[in-house]
Amino acid sequence: MQNFDYFNPTHIVFGQDRLNELDKLIPANAKVMVLFGSGSVKRYGTLDKVISGLGDRTVVEFGGIEPNPQFDTLMKAVEIVKAEQVDFLLAVGGGSVMDGTKFVSLAANVESDHSNLLFHGSASVPVDSAVPLGCVATLPATGSEMNSFAVITFNEQKYPMTSPLVFPKFSFLDPGLTQTLPKHQIANGVADAFVHVFEQYMTYPVDAKIQDRFSEGVLQTLIEDGPVTFNDNDNMAARKNFIWSATSALNGIIGVGVPQDWSAHMIGHELTATFDIAHGRTLAIVLPSLMRERKQQKRAKLLQFAERVWHITEGTDEQKIDSAIDKTEAFFNSLEIVTQLSHYGIDEAGIDTVVSKMKKMNLTQLSETGDLTLDIVRKILIAAL
């Protein structure tokens, strides 16, 4: 196992109908900005419950954060936070709203050149203060509710950013609030969480037993309870397990002390930025093809995955690995996610566009060893056509 530091200060409030506890978690004299998306939280009554949970505090509402949150929209919130001297941010929504709120939190104490905050990749954004934030998560998928990451769209490119200052102070995970999600969003969430585990687990062995077994537990839970949640909107027991799987997949705990490979995300982000395919869906398209291409590099862990997660015991090692990748793709398909790029109207010319945009973004040495070059990315995408 490699050396690591682990720090996660987010207080999780898990369970139904607990929004009245907001009152205990936000300073009594705070001026609160409530940030939300394109209207689901108004339509389904979540916003009313949040406002009531905030009691007598002064509240400023900021709606209209779009999926794949846009820099220009978020800058409008930043201006209001400054003008109104807001001192607490409350994100009510999915990953896009939570990520957007993290950007606002960091940008509000910066005077100029706010887009520069986006260009630090996996290094911490160099600012030393942020407006504190909390979340009411309405979509289980990204793990943003318990991590320090955000992904912001600027000039039609997606930029990951991180800072320890934007760990949410708290996040409410209320399964009841997620029951209004359309089925395809549940599917996207299951795929996103599954691939989050994969990017931290499917590398090379470093004898990290806890991380491996946690990862395998999360994958197995997603395989068991993802489809139940997808097919049965009223099954609360399965939904609770799915929600905690999604949070556990990217709250840092499975990723400590192990090599990580975020290739599927880097390629997927470009598919979203170029063709507007939902984030989770892009990952389900890329992952099977990526694994088939990278069988040699990931042989030991793919075999472990086949045996421990899919319980494949028959056949040669090669057959077990092939079968595990096929089963993973079939799992995504069972959630009505089509894993062929052509289904989304993308052809070879589209793939060339994606590859050239990745070159512009300097994403030319992906994988846990930096050996995944853009000609291999092209091959992976061609195989997914």
Instruction: For the CB of residue 98, give the shortest distance to ligand NZQ in the complex, in Å.
Output: 7
* Binding to ligand NZQ in span 19-38, by CB under 6 A: 37-38
- Please select the residue that binds ligand NZQ; options are 19, 32, 181, 202, rule is CB under 6 A: 181
Cα dihedral 365→367→373→378 (10° resolution) = -130
Q: Locate tokens 């139904």: which residue?
A: 16
Per CB under 6 A, the segment of 87-95, 318-326, 359-367, 377-385 that binds ligand NZQ is 87-95
Binding mask 138-157 for ligand NZQ (x = CB under 6 A): xx-xxxx--x-xxx------
Helix orientation angle between 209-231 and 236-249, rounded to the nearest 10 degrees? 140
Binding mask 298-337 for ligand NZQ (x = CB under 6 A): ----------------------------------------
Contact flag: residue 91 with ligand NZQ (CB under 6 A): no
**Partner from Zn ion, ligand NZQ, none contacting 141, C-beta within 5 to 8 A by type:** ligand NZQ
**Partner from ligand NZQ, Zn ion, none contacting 200, C-beta within 5 to 8 A by type:** none
Contact flag: residue 174 with Zn ion (CB under 5 A): no
* Binding to ligand NZQ in span 334-353, by CB under 6 A: none
Q: In angstroms, rounded to a whole number, what is the distance separating the alpha carbons of residues 353 and 21? A: 48
Instruction: For the CB of residue 200, give the shortest distance to ligand NZQ in the complex, in Å.
Output: 12
Instruction: For the CB of residue 195, give the shortest distance to Zn ion in the complex, in Å.
Output: 6
**Partner from ligand NZQ, Zn ion, none contacting 38, C-beta within 5 to 8 A by type:** ligand NZQ
DSSP string covering 18-80, please? -GGGHHHHS-TT-EEEEEE-SSHHHHTTHHHHHHHHTTTSEEEEE--PPSS-BHHHHHHHHHH
Which among 254, 25, 219 has a CA at the least distance from the CA of 134?
Answer: 25
Contact flag: residue 40 with ligand NZQ (CB under 6 A): yes
- The count of residues in the chain is 385
Instruction: Write out the two tokens for 44.
Output: 């389904």
Long-range contacts of 101-104 (CB under 8 A, 24+ apart): 101/35, 101/65, 101/133, 101/135, 102/133, 102/144, 102/148, 102/149, 102/150, 102/161, 102/163, 102/166, 103/69, 103/71, 103/74, 103/150, 103/152, 103/161, 104/33, 104/35, 104/74, 104/77, 104/78, 104/131
Contact flag: residue 247 with ligand NZQ (CB under 6 A): no
Q: Which is nearer to ligand NZQ, 22 or 181 (CB)?
A: 181
- Please select the residue that binds Zn ion; options are 174, 192, 225, 322, rule is CB under 5 A: 192
Give CA angle at 125 (11, 7), nearest 5°. 30
Instruction: For the CB of residue 188, give the shortest distance to ligand NZQ in the complex, in Å.
Output: 6
Q: How many residues bind Zn ion (CB under 5 A)?
A: 1
Contact flag: residue 39 with ligand NZQ (CB under 6 A): yes
DSSP 124: B
Alpha-carbon distances, residue 271 vs 72, 133, 145, 159, 281 (angstroms) = 21, 30, 24, 13, 10
Q: Which is nearer to Zn ion, 279 or 301 (CB)?
A: 279
Binding mask 41-80 for ligand NZQ (x = CB under 6 A): x--x----------------------xx------------
Per CB under 6 A, the segment of 95-103, 213-221, 285-293, 369-377 that binds ligand NZQ is 95-103
Is 52 in contact with 23 (CB distance < 8 Å)?
Answer: no
Is 277 in contact with 271 (CB distance < 8 Å)?
Answer: yes
Element (H, E) at 90: strand 88-93
Q: Which is nearer to ligand NZQ, 280 or 288 (CB)?
A: 280
Instruction: By CB under 5 A, name the binding residues for Zn ion.
Output: 192
Instruction: By CB under 6 A, name the binding residues for ligand NZQ.
Output: 37-41, 44, 67-68, 93-97, 99, 138-139, 141-144, 147, 149-151, 158, 177-178, 180-181, 185, 188, 192, 250, 265, 279-280
